[in-house]
Amino acid sequence: MGFMKLFKHVLADDWGVHPDDHKRPAADQPVRVMPVPAKLYLPLQQHLGGAARPSVLVGQKVRKGELIAEAQGMVSAPIHAPTSGTIVAVTEITAPHPSGLTLPAIILEADGADEWISLQACTDPFALPAAEIGQRVAAAGVVGLGGAAFPSAVKLIGASRAKVTTLVMNGGECEPYLSCDDRLMRDAAEGIVDGIRIMLHATGALVALVGIEDNKPEAIAAMQAAAALYPTVQIRPVPARYPMGSEKQLIQVLTGIEVPADGRPADIGVIVHNVGTALAVRAAVREGKPLISRLVTVNGHCAANPGNIEVRIGTLAEEVIAFAGGLKGDGIGLARRVMGGPMMGMQIPHWRVPVVKGTSGILAFDTAEVAEQEPNPCIRCSSCVKACPMGLLPLEMSARIRNEALTDAIELGLKDCIACGCCAYVCPSKIPLVQYFVHAKGELAAQDRAKLRTDATKKLAQQRQERLEREAREKAEANAKRKAEREAAAAAKAAAAPQEVTS
Amino acid sequence: MSEFLLLLLSTALVNNVVLIKFLGLCPVMGVSKSMDSAFGMGLATTFVITLAAGASWMLDNWLLQPLGLGYLRILTFILVIAAVVQFTEMFIKKSSPGLYQSLGIYLPLITTNCAVLGVALLNVEQKFSLFKSLLYGFGSALGFTLVLLIFAGLRERVALARVPTAFAGAPIAFVTISLLALAFMGFSGLNV
Amino acid sequence: MIAAILSLTILGAALGIILGVANKFLQVEGNPLVDELIAMMPGSNCGQCGFPGCSGAAGAIADGSAAPTCCPPGGKALATAIAAKLGLTLDLSDMADDGPKIAVVAEELCIGCCRCSKVCPTDAILGAAKQIHNVFREACTGCSSCVEKCPTEALSMKPVPVTLQHWVMPKPALA
């Protein structure tokens, strides 16, 4: 018995962690719609890829849904005015990013009318060609609403090219504290299923598997009811476990296929989208509405009245919290401000940071929740190895990174690390393992950039050398030519002179 | 046959040239920082020891002893060893510049590696045949390479650990290798 | 006595001849390592390392008189690549990475003398005579050879501002 139990334990894929989810009571509160604030701060880079380029002037009046910054480059997304009003500035604001650095943003002053531009609706999206849907989604600036904010149109168009057979819909919402996807699936299941069907049509995939963690029974019931009529949309409850919502893990659980280490899901005929994205795609295609608002979970022990709030993109976190009911005791005991989930979200320096398209939560943690502790030496318990959903060796990798041996860390699979933070979460010595990996990945990216730069410099130096040689040669040639001309002239003169004498 | 195998095993493990006879400690401390250079050093030393063992046996049995020049033994052996090391150095420089660079000064220093001279002299002392001398040389070299590799592996691990400042660097290396020597002493109880 | 002298002489001579022949066959032309290193260096001959050009630095690194970290434009990436090539263990922590710097022209001081653009190893300075010069940020390697040439001190080295794209999460403090 003991032996068999041990054996089972070895074989079970018990990756990941089971943090307390803290999703209720916030998840059970009905959605509150926040009125448009006086000013909206719209960063030009709310997505992965190239930043958008502003297409409005300061002082210009815009209406709700009007394009204010257009996509730039292959992977990018446009930005639209979340309400009607006047552009007052294009300036730098604090980014929702742990660095606390700034990024350029358009500041829009609302006029209170909240007046739409004329929208191009479409009654039958299934009659549209796939490319047209991709274009509509791209024009609406829809990005992945799960957090990574990858432009959805790029994925949809890429999928139809890559012959994707399965669409995996991510309703896992494995991050603790967050419940915006849960709420969305309970309230707008019909719309999500419709969006999924549009995405199936656009990608050419045969079936959509909707993975929902089993700690959300209401969402599962609502989605099952909505999808009952459509056999191509299958609702699949999955065990609640972090990071179930990571695309590689969800694909493996739902389809049984593992995404290769240096590959993408499309390589095995799968793409993953978030359920919230499906709703945004539906709005973009059916109603022509751009992505200008989203559901944000306000949670954490410091939040006086946790819940889900529909917020316009560009609203400051400060105002969202104030609308949600403020902080307990006016923020006394507040230990950490986080945007996104507690595991992979961004720690932000202050609340004057805007909600962007990928913001799923605004979390206010107290000291007990943060439980910061001085790290102790590694005791080689290998908890992190067991927890790592990618099957890596976090303790070995971090030791190498600490010694600046990045090449060794890469050999151990650093590039496969998804920075989910399970290792740091389970570490009994409180070693900031995932911070080491994020640091090392940034360092690697910096080295790659330096490498590119060195190559470019080398090319420039060579070109300069060639230019100098060419100039020297041309000069020498010109000199020689002039000399020859002079000599020829002198010779002609010399030849002409005696003739005159003789004549 | 089993006699030869036994000789090979006992020279490599039981009478390990580094940890039991304490010969050739200098490269073991010097070239054990990474497995790669340790392996290269092991190969080079194996080549030198085996060749020098054979060459010195021939010189001793066919030249020095017939002429009664036993007192020139150390001198001639050093001469032969130096020549073999020079040859090895040229060969490595040509074939693997990277290894040549990483071995650095320790490559010419194989000349003064006492394991090389020691093995040649022990061969004479034990009155081995030519084949047995070659085997003895190869076995010793195998033991040397084994210890070098094990120690390099340990040092790579130690480099990742957080060693107290007072022990960092050479001290922890000495502690490590002494523990390794203790472990190798266990082979002396082997009843083969 | 004579036998001893003779035998040692003959032995020495024989070994000498063998080594001489071997040397002929195993001759290495130049140092192949240096050539490989030169190919890895930026090649802009900016002189920040203190050697005359990249080949000088490559030679110094190969024979061990310079550290692989001596090339600022190459940065950590180059240093690790060289260390891997030479089998050196590298202490990157003493490579002060206080961020790259690039040359910046103070427009109100520039007189358009073109002296800076002539010395720039990567042609990163744009400008014609009597026109205000400017620096291509992407092409500048931060070698600062132009700064000394400027007669009006219009050129100065400024750190490249860290942007969101270039930010790297700091390494956790030692536990």
b/e B68-97 (16+ beta carbons within 10 angstroms → b): ebeebbeebbbbbbbbbbbbbbbbbbeeeb
| A363, β-bridge pairs | A299, A338
| A310, β-bridge pairs | A33, A295
| A28, β-bridge pairs | none
- Residue C10's Cβ-side half-sphere holds a number of Cα atoms within 13 Å equal to 9
Q: Which residue has the tokens 């496969």?
A: A416
Q: How many residues does chain B have?
A: 192
Return d(Cα A150, Cα A138) in angstroms, integer.
11
Cβ atoms of B34 and B101 within 8 Å: the answer is no
How many beta carbons lie within 10 A of that of residue A493, not counting itself?
Answer: 9
Is the model's pLDDT at A314 over the cut of 60? yes
Q: Verify whether the Cβ–Cβ distance B101 to C87 is below 8 Å.
A: yes
Query: Distance, in angstroms, between C37 CA and closest chain A CA?
Result: 13
**Which of A377, A400, A405 shows the shortest C-beta gap to B162?**
A377
Q: How many residue contacts between B and C have a Cβ separation below 8 Å?
A: 63
Return d(Cα A454, Cα A442) in angstroms, integer.
18
pLDDT score, position A303: 92
**Rounded (10°) angle between helices B73-95 and B114-125:** 130
The answer, for B83 touching chain C at a CB cutoff of 8 Å, is yes
Return d(Cα B143, Cα A330) in angstroms, integer.
72
Query: Which of the residues A376, A458, A462 would you substitute to probe the C interface, choosing the one with the greatest number of C C-beta atoms within 10 Å?
Result: A458
Return d(Cα A212, Cα C135) in angstroms, integer.
54
Return d(Cα C4, Cα B61) in angstroms, integer.
15
pLDDT digits over C110-120, tens only? Answer: 888 888 888 88
The residues near A182 (Cβ < 8 Å, ≥ 6 apart) are A23, A27, A173, A216, A218, A219
pLDDT digits over A105-162, tens only? Answer: 999 999 999 999 999 888 898 999 988 999 999 999 999 998 788 999 999 888 888 8
- Model confidence band, residue C98 (pLDDT cutoffs 50, 70, 90): low
Nearest CA to A290 among A118, A103, A110? A118
Average pLDDT over residues A168-182: 93
Return d(Cα B44, Cα B91) in angstroms, integer.
10
Q: Which of residues 364 through 403 in chain A touch B, CB cutoff 8 A?
A: 377, 399-400, 402-403
Query: Distance, in angstroms, between C99 CA and closest chain B CA?
Result: 27
Query: Which of the residues B87, B95, B111, B156 would you substitute to probe the C interface, choosing the one with the greatest number of C C-beta atoms within 10 Å?
Result: B87
Look up residue A229 and give its two tokens. Answer: 């009529």
- Residue A463's Cβ-side half-sphere holds a number of Cα atoms within 13 Å equal to 11
Give the angle subtended at the CA of C7 by the CAs of C1 and C11, to the nearest 5°.
150
pLDDT digits over A235-266, tens only? Answer: 999 999 999 989 899 998 999 888 988 888 98
pLDDT score, position A10: 47
- Model confidence band, residue A9 (pLDDT cutoffs 50, 70, 90): very low
C-alpha dihedral sign at A418, A394, A416, C173: positive
Nearest CA to A474 among A485, A482, A464, A463? A482
Strands (E), A11-84: 32-33, 39-43, 53-54, 61-62, 67-70, 79-80
Residue A503 vs residue C136, higher pLDDT: C136
The residues near A118 (Cβ < 8 Å, ≥ 6 apart) are none
Look up residue A378 and give its two tokens. Answer: 């590694």
Q: Which amino acid is it at A345?
A: G
Query: Which of the residues B36, B63, B71, B101 would you substitute to probe the C interface, choosing the one with the greatest number of C C-beta atoms within 10 Å?
Result: B101
Starting at the earlier edge strand, list the strands of the sheet with A166-171.
A233-238, A207-213, A166-171, A270-274
- Residue B166's Cβ-side half-sphere holds a number of Cα atoms within 13 Å equal to 0
Return d(Cα B3, Cα A487) in angstroms, integer.
96
Q: Verify whether the Cβ–Cβ distance B160 to A399 is below 8 Å.
A: yes
Return d(Cα B53, Cα B118) in angstroms, integer.
10
Cβ atoms of A360 and A96 within 8 Å: the answer is no
From residue A303, give the alpha-carbon distance in Å to each of A328, A361, A368: 6, 12, 14
Return d(Cα C133, Cα C110) in angstroms, integer.
7
Helix or strand holding residue A166 (H, E): strand A166-171
Look up residue B124 and give its two tokens. Answer: 């004479």
Q: Which residues of A touch B162 (CB under 8 A)?
A: 377
- Which of A178-187, A366-375, B40-49, B76-85 shows the lowest per-residue confidence on average (mean pLDDT)? A366-375
pLDDT score, position B189: 77
Long-range CB contact pairs, A415-418, < 8 A, 24+ = A415/A261, A415/A262, A415/A441, A415/A444, A416/A261, A416/A390, A416/A392, A417/A390, A417/A392, A417/A441, A418/A243, A418/A246, A418/A248, A418/A389, A418/A390
The residues near A222 (Cβ < 8 Å, ≥ 6 apart) are A185, A186, A187, A189
Tell me the whole-structure pTM to 2 decimals: 0.84
pLDDT digits over A470-495, tens only? Answer: 999 999 999 999 999 999 999 888 88
The answer, for B70 touching chain C at a CB cutoff of 8 Å, is no
User: A84: which DSSP letter?
Assistant: S
- Judge residue C109's burial from the number of C-beta atoms within 10 Å of its C-beta, 0-12 exposed, 13-18 middle, 19 or more buried: middle
- Model confidence band, residue C137 (pLDDT cutoffs 50, 70, 90): confident
Average pLDDT over residues A188-204: 94
From residue A364, give the alpha-carbon distance in Å to each of A15, A314, A449: 28, 19, 36
Share of chain A above pLDDT 70, in %: 96
Cis link prior to A243 (omega < 30° from 0)? yes
Share of chain C above pLDDT 90, in %: 6
Look up residue A157 and give its two tokens. Answer: 């168009």
Strands (E), A289-422: 293-299, 307-312, 334-339, 346-347, 361-366
Q: How many residue contacts between A and C have a Cβ separation below 8 Å?
A: 103
Average pLDDT over residues A380-405: 91
- Model confidence band, residue C73 (pLDDT cutoffs 50, 70, 90): confident
The answer, for B73 touching chain C at a CB cutoff of 8 Å, is no
pLDDT digits over B33-54, tens only? Answer: 888 889 988 988 999 999 999 9
Q: What is the C-alpha R_g of chain B?
A: 17
Average pLDDT over residues C19-26: 87
pLDDT score, position A31: 95
Cβ atoms of A323 and A201 within 8 Å: the answer is no
Average pLDDT, chain A: 90
- Closest residue in chain A to residue C43, using alpha carbons only: A458
How many beta carbons lie within 10 A of that of residue C152, not counting itself?
Answer: 11
How many beta carbons lie within 10 A of that of residue A21, not counting itself?
Answer: 19
What residues in chain B have per-residue pLDDT under 70?
A: 191-192
Cβ atoms of A269 and A255 within 8 Å: the answer is no
The answer, for B59 touching chain C at a CB cutoff of 8 Å, is yes
Cβ atoms of A285 and A197 within 8 Å: the answer is no
Q: How far is CA A149 from the centre of its chain?
A: 3
- Model confidence band, residue C99 (pLDDT cutoffs 50, 70, 90): low
Return d(Cα A388, Cα A422) in angstroms, integer.
6
Instruction: Return phi, psi of residue A15, to 5°.
Output: -75, 170
Nearest CA to A66 among A51, A76, A79? A79
The answer, for A367 touching chain C at a CB cutoff of 8 Å, is no
